[in-house]
Structure 1
Amino acid sequence: MQLRKAARKIGARYDAVLAPVGINIAQFSLLRAVERRQPVSLTELGRTLDLDRSTMGRNVRVVEKLGLVRLDRGEDQREAVVSLSEHGVAVLRVAEPLWERCQRQVADQLGPTRLQLLGELGQLL
């Protein structure tokens, strides 16, 4: 319960910082993952973000409706591939310094020992 509470609080901080650009932390993470691998299949994107394909498809459709990504057919016509749109690139460029500032604030507040522990928990679980 305490871990979920902490995760919600940290997530809410990032969401508040990213709100002016119209995205939340989950969407920011998705856009960054797409940017690094584009064009990327929904299956591979789900693997990267540790989400099942159906959840990944729903999440991608949300950012597609916001005009942040494009969905196309891959070489295998059964698989959809995702790429950032021009608007998605622009939103990501505005969001990055906001995210980085929040990241530094959270790291400063947690301190190096807790930050290391948080990283270890992520690897452990």
Structure 2
Amino acid sequence: MSKPSELPFATTLLVRDTCLCLHAQRAARALARRFDEALRPLGLTNGQFSLLMSLNRPEPPSMRPVAELLGMDRTTLTASLKPLERRGLVWVEPDPEDRRSRRLHLTPAGRAVLAEAFPVWRDTHAAAEAGLGEGEADRLRANLARLG
């Protein structure tokens, strides 16, 4: 049996210090914690807020565009909808034009909690942007969009 190859610790440090994926994940987790904490009094996570906001449209969307907007697969979206359905914030119905597809609706309670959550999001978001410095938030969004 051959001895497995070993990487020097310096390689670990190189990845730690330069990996774009690692740095993006760490930043995303830190931002998620910040927004989760801010939205907790409303009983929402940042992911639930984003999902509810993605449903705030003139016409109820089907699952595909919502999943694409949120960067998740349909199975994950379905699982994410369940707690919101149980709380009466969202309801899902078959699309009348294509019974295989589902339409996602905000309920009146969902609209109310979203309206209450928006100022919390706005203030938390403004504080996060301010921490980056003048013009840096736009630059960060542009750079992230190029990677996505």
- Please confirm whether the aligned pair reaches a TM-score higher than 0.5, indicating the same fold: yes
- TM-score, normalised to structure 2's length? 0.78
Counterpart check, 1:92 vs 2:81: no
Task: Determine the C-alpha separation between the residues in 2 that align with 1:68 and 1:103.
Answer: 23
**Corresponding residue of 1:109:** 131
Q: 1:68·1:88 contact (CA, 8 Å) conserved in 2?
A: yes
Q: Deviations over 1:80-119 (max 9, x none)?
A: 1101011101100110000000011001111134313320
**Corresponding residue of 1:120:** 142
Q: How does 1:1-125 map to 2 (within 5 A)?
A: 1-36=22-57, 38-74=59-95, 75-125=97-147
Task: Determine the C-alpha separation between the residues in 2 that align with 1:80 and 1:45.
Answer: 11
Q: Supply the AA of the counterpart residue of 1:58.
A: A
Over the matched positions of the two proteins, sequence identity in percent amounts to: 31
> Is the helix fraction higher in 1 or 2?
1
**Aligned Cα root-mean-square deviation (Å):** 1.4
Structure number with higher relative contact order (C-alpha < 8 Å, ≥ 6 residues apart): 1
What stretches of structure 1 move > 4 A for 4+ residues in a row? none
Task: Determine the C-alpha separation between the residues in 1 that align with 2:51 and 2:58.
Answer: 11
Q: Supply the AA of the counterpart residue of 2:25.
A: R
- TM-score, normalised to structure 1's length? 0.92
- Partner-residue secondary structure (3-state), 1:111: coil
**How many positions carry a matched residue from both structures?**
125
Q: Which runs of 5+ in 1 are unaligned?
A: none
